[in-house]
A and B are shown apart, each in its own frame.
Chain A
Amino acid sequence: MAFAGTDTYVATDDLRVAVNAAIALQRPLLVKGEPGTGKTVLAQEIAKALGRPLLTWHIKSTTRAQQGLYEYDAVSRLRDGQLGDERVRDIANYIRRGKLWEAFEAEEPPVLLIDEIDKADIEFPNDLLQELDRMEFFVYETGQTVRARQRPVVVITSNNEKELPDAFLRRCFFHYIRFPDPETMERIVAVHFPDLKKELLRDALGMFYEVREIPGLRKRPSTSELLDWIRLLLVEDVSPETLRARDPGKLVLPLHGALLKNEQDVMLFERLAFLARRDSR
């Protein structure tokens, strides 16, 4: 039951070790890294590789830990009570299960993705400590204890907007997805575009890393942007020659909108291209 990457996901050695450690010891895996380096995709790929269902819990700034366990729908019950519905006598009818409950009660242990945990309130991770540790919680309304049949594989992603509490961190394995080096990147692109011409790939990668190296970019393009860009290049059928030619009449690289997401960055890029052109004359 070891994870070794899939045919659509290139996992580096260190990532593999971290994932397998988390699976073997049944601890949550905390994944951080630049946006667009495949944090969320990782959970999907783990689920795919292990042949388990994936449950995703997207965290927003208003999400509370309790919502992951269950919610008591008092408003429905109140309405039913006033309409004289019979269901009202059983409070269990108004308990709505959260993602964690679903994961605990699932037939086969799923992969549970808690996405962008740092978006929530600073206390959020603390409220989940016991639940993730012991994989059980207590439902006050019905007096029952929900226990995990089998411990799910928990993957948690964070974008570093808030610091996570120490007590929470201690319970997790941690992996920081580094920006892939050119060689790994080549493998990643090959996985996504198997028929890509070698030349085009080499030129595109070269330019991509060049763009990333521009000092002062607000948002450096990452893996997902590179993949988008290559997809566009393919759709537009840009030949390697055009890509390489850097036509002096055209200032920027073709379809740069896929790589640069910020008008200041585009302006900076155009200015640099202009300077480069002037120098070359």
Chain B
Amino acid sequence: MFTRFFYELRQVGVPVSLREYLTLLEAMKAGVAAYDAEGFYYLARAALVKDERHLDRFDQVFAAVFKGLAREDGTADGGIQAEIPADWLRRIAERILTEEEKRQVQALGGWDKLMETLAERLAEQRGRHQGGSKWIGTGGTSPFGAYGYNPEGLRIGQDAGRNRRAVKVWDRREFRNLDDGLEIGTRNIKVALRRLRRFARTGAADVLDLDGTVRATASNAGWLDLKLVPERRNSVKVLLFLDVGGSMDDHVRLCEELFSAARAEFKHLEHFYFHNCVYESVWRDNRRRGERIPTLEVLRTYGADYRLVIVGDAAMSPYEIVRAGGSVEHWNDEPGQVWLQRLLAAWEHAVWLNPTPQRHWDYTESTRIVRRLVADRMFPLTIEGLDRAMRALMTG
């Protein structure tokens, strides 16, 4: 029935499967929602969307697909989506209209004629949500006014207390800020970073393992045999390299949020700062940039079980990466890419997080170079990108 709707949802990345689709059909058969567009919208949303991040995308697709409401005659690609809603509309009308009104309908040329006109009106209406005198309070001059048709809410029939619905619900796009492609906040970052949690039992065995004790005691024919295990701890270790200054100034807030979230999430988190590209030394405190730590020392200190996260916009002159002496701050004996490769060789689980939007990456030469160096493990600093990055760190 709604095959196109289903596929378009999948296309925009709402993970619906056949199972959800069947659930929706089943629910419709069971008559769960009232026969109106809004009820259908709510039902479809509850059945097909399983994560608030996808709600906004769902709304958009819903709006796009069911615009077909307008193309009642089924021209163009309107076949599927036009068919159903017309049916729905008819049902509502049948339920609501009085006998007298039904006769009026007949006078106007019958149902089909009415539906056609209605469809035209709807098509017109789509363009201007604010509405106008044509649609509301016509006092019986328009065929639709007579039946209390409220075009803005796509609502046929009277319904108390709904006057606030100025625009179709799905067109209001209330869930926009929950979409993970867009916004980032400390809490969201934390949720994303939590992907990286990996609990393991490390340290001294000091917690009673009840199940183990029971098992051991049972197999000991009842002689108590206490078993102890170490406590579970989050064992992930993270090295965070942050680009500061220059073009990164625009992204300071984002990086601060990422940093504060990361610090709360990981017990083993070491952070270092660099400017544009990592060279022979980095620093830990931005106020005392003079106190440098040789990068070699960092390389020696932290074992291969650390996961490397580099945050930077990778926007610089290509010379800063590929040439000795290319740094804007000092004379570097070895080019930045040598240092980058050393870092990547020391810690094989590595990602580069880039706060600039992904669509801009290809326009910057240096971004392309860095991306190649990190073997395409560069992710945008959005929730969704962070999520992918954390997955890459877990498996890669």
Give A residues with C-beta under 8 Å from B.
Answer: 13-14, 17-18, 20-22, 24-25, 27, 30, 32, 74-75, 78, 81-82, 160-163, 166, 169-176, 178, 183
Among B17, B45, B164, B178, point to the contact of A14 (Cβ < 8 A).
B45
Among B19, B45, B46, B174, point to the contact of A170 (Cβ < 8 A).
B19
Shortest B383–chain A CB gap in Å is 12
Give B residues with C-beta under 8 Å from A.
Answer: 15, 17, 19-20, 23, 26-27, 30, 32-33, 38-39, 42-43, 45-47, 49-52, 55, 164, 169, 174-175, 178, 191, 194-195, 214, 217-218, 222
A-B pairs, 3 with minimum CB distance: A17-B42, A18-B46, A169-B50
Q: Are A24 and B30 in contact (CB under 8 A)?
A: yes
Q: Are A17 and B46 in contact (CB under 8 A)?
A: yes
Q: Are B50 and A183 in contact (CB under 8 A)?
A: no
Instruction: Decide yes or no: A74 and B218 within 8 Å by CB, A21-B27, A21-B33 being known contacts.
Output: yes
Q: What would 29 A/B residue contacts be, using CB atoms closer than 8 Å?
A: A13-B38, A13-B42, A14-B42, A14-B46, A17-B39, A17-B43, A18-B45, A18-B46, A20-B33, A21-B27, A21-B33, A21-B46, A25-B30, A74-B214, A75-B214, A82-B222, A161-B191, A162-B191, A163-B195, A169-B51, A170-B17, A173-B23, A173-B47, A174-B46, A174-B49, A174-B51, A176-B175, A176-B178, A178-B174
Closest to A2 in B: B32
Shortest B193–chain A CB gap in Å is 12
Q: How far is the CA of A183 from the CA of B162 in the complex (A)?
A: 11
Query: Looking at chain A's contact residues, is the secondary structure mostly helix, strand, loop, or mixed?
Result: helix
Shortest A232–chain B CB gap in Å is 27
Shortest A24–chain B CB gap in Å is 5
B42 cross-chain contacts in A, Cβ below 8 A: 13-14, 17-18
Query: Looking at chain B's contact residues, is the secondary structure mostly helix, strand, loop, or mixed?
Result: helix
Q: How far is the CA of A13 from the CA of B34 in the complex (A)?
A: 11
B217 cross-chain contacts in A, Cβ below 8 A: 78
Closest to B38 in A: A13
Q: Are B32 and A17 in contact (CB under 8 A)?
A: yes
Q: Are B194 and A161 in contact (CB under 8 A)?
A: yes
Q: How far is the CA of A158 from the CA of B169 in the complex (A)?
A: 25
Closest to B217 in A: A78
Instruction: Decide yes or no: A160 and B30 within 8 Å by CB, A17-B43, A175-B46, A176-B55 being known contacts.
Output: no
Q: Are B23 and A24 in contact (CB under 8 A)?
A: no
Shortest A2–chain B CB gap in Å is 9
Among B45, B191, B218, point to the contact of A160 (Cβ < 8 A).
B191
Q: How far is the CA of A24 from the CA of B30 in the complex (A)?
A: 7
B164 cross-chain contacts in A, Cβ below 8 A: 183
Q: Are B46 and A162 in contact (CB under 8 A)?
A: no
B169 cross-chain contacts in A, Cβ below 8 A: 14
Q: Are B46 and A178 in contact (CB under 8 A)?
A: no
Further 19 A-B residue pairs, CB within 8 A, beyond A21-B43, A166-B50, A176-B175:
A14-B169, A17-B39, A17-B46, A18-B42, A18-B43, A21-B27, A21-B47, A25-B27, A25-B30, A30-B50, A74-B218, A78-B218, A161-B194, A163-B191, A166-B15, A172-B50, A174-B51, A176-B55, A183-B164
A75 cross-chain contacts in B, Cβ below 8 A: 214
Q: Are A170 and B50 in contact (CB under 8 A)?
A: yes
Closest to A20 in B: B32
Q: Are A162 and B194 in contact (CB under 8 A)?
A: yes
Shortest A25–chain B CB gap in Å is 6
Closest to B164 in A: A183
B20 cross-chain contacts in A, Cβ below 8 A: 170
B38 cross-chain contacts in A, Cβ below 8 A: 13
Shortest A96–chain B CB gap in Å is 14
Shortest B154–chain A CB gap in Å is 13
